[in-house]
Amino acid sequence: MKKKYFGTDGIRATVGQAPMTAEWLLSLGRAIGTVIQEQAKPILIGMDTRESSVALGDAFAAGLAAQGHHVIIAGVLPTPAVAFLCKQKEFSLGAVISASHNPYQDNGIKFFCSDGFKLSDDAEQAIETRLDQIASIALAAKPGKIDYDNSLIQVYAEHCQTFFAPQALAGLNLVLDCAHGATYQLAPTLFIDLGATVHSLHITPDGRNINAASGATDLRALQQAVKEKEAHLGIAFDGDGDRVMMVDGDGVVVDGDELLWILAAHQLTEHKTLAGVVGTVMSNLGLVEALAAQKIPFYRANVGDRYVLEALKERNWFLGGESSGHLLHLHYGTTGDGLVSALLILQAMVKAKKPLSELKKGMRKYPQVMINVRYAGKKPDLNLEAIKNAVAEVEQQLAGQGRVLLRASGTEPLVRVMVEGKDKAETKAHAESLAFNIQKILEG
């Protein structure tokens, strides 16, 4: 059954518009409160730095408490910290008030079970069914309580510190871009404690500047700072900390595909074997070729770290990720984790005694251009004959030396137009032409 509210990564919308209102979050809390029968364990709520997060989080907590649950609001927490704490501290449920990489006008909520993994489709469907019945559901005879605990972030910080001995990163000069988001305090402190010299960007959230010209979705400031500070590398997180992107010492972007390759190559060097790697339909052909050269199987999942995770579980593999910087290493966590992924990359650098620019050389990245085409109204049908003809024309011009992918975003009203090919200028021209034609078709 098609879900009404849940998308590929929880629920997300513009604040003040249905369903992202305090009133609706109250009902959502009540609905989930009736789905979760076990009330012996508390429910954890973390959030990012958006101006709307506190009010929405409080409303959601009130709905849970109305159904008899004990809720702990932990304040600003990266998304992977909530997943980690659910498993570590045995919360019955974890919720994150965040719209991840979206601008501040949007917000959302995503959930983790007590094992640290995201909710199943069946669980999301059960919640939506209960939402439709909420008017007829009675409140608990005895309301639950709401507590606030800002110390839980330290438990996650201590987990991150276990990746290195104290001062193990002494001599490393790096730049961090925290996107004015959930890692703005944690990340600089962590890397300083590990001995690195840290230059921090975008660590003064005001509720509205989250992800604005910063972080994993806009690396220009990081590139410039790496050059100015003569840093060894730069690390960028998105607003809720589940993505990471990097910049090498020359100021060149190292994206999620290249980071995934570095992790795979390091695993192969250290352990001589790697069962396979999961990417997505957006993963670069260069990653596929580099893995194939090492006889490492590769599988393309749909876009979204939940689909990468599903594919990993089905194959009993542990390493996967997305070009956007969602990286999953199931030996170390249950969801995309920007901080942990950055630490694993640094481990590979330290072990190999090579800079980031050297480690990525094992993968030759194909030029890949993606253009977002915004649409109004309902999600468009990408199987329209006119759209298929426009794609076929570009594919014919690529002549087997690249590929085209159209994908409707699961979180924003965008059609993502991606073209990949061997020549950068030609690839860019093909992408721009196709995006222009798609825009005309969508506008009617």
Provide the annotated active-site residues. 100
Residue 44 DSSP SS3: strand
| CA–CA gap between residue 307 and residue 185 (Å, rounded) | 30
| CA–CA gap between residue 172 and residue 233 (Å, rounded) | 9
Torsion of CA 300, 304, 306, 308, to 10 degrees: 20
Q: Are strands 43-47 and 402-408 parallel, antiparallel or unpaired?
A: unpaired
Q: Are strands 253-254 and 368-374 parallel, antiparallel or unpaired?
A: unpaired
**∠184-185-188 over CA atoms, to 5°?**
90
| CA–CA gap between residue 62 and residue 70 (Å, rounded) | 10
Pick from 186, 32, 35, 152: which is nearest to 82 by CA? 152
**∠418-422-425 over CA atoms, to 5°?**
75
**Cβ-count burial 263-296 (b if 16+ within 10 Å, e if not):** bbbbbeeeeeebebbbbbebbbbbbbebbeeeeb
CB 406 within 8 A of CB 437: no
User: What is the H or E stretch that residue 299 is in?
Assistant: strand 298-301
User: What is the token pair recorded at 35?
Assistant: 């789905």
Pick from 57, 118, 112: which is nearest to 85 by CA? 112
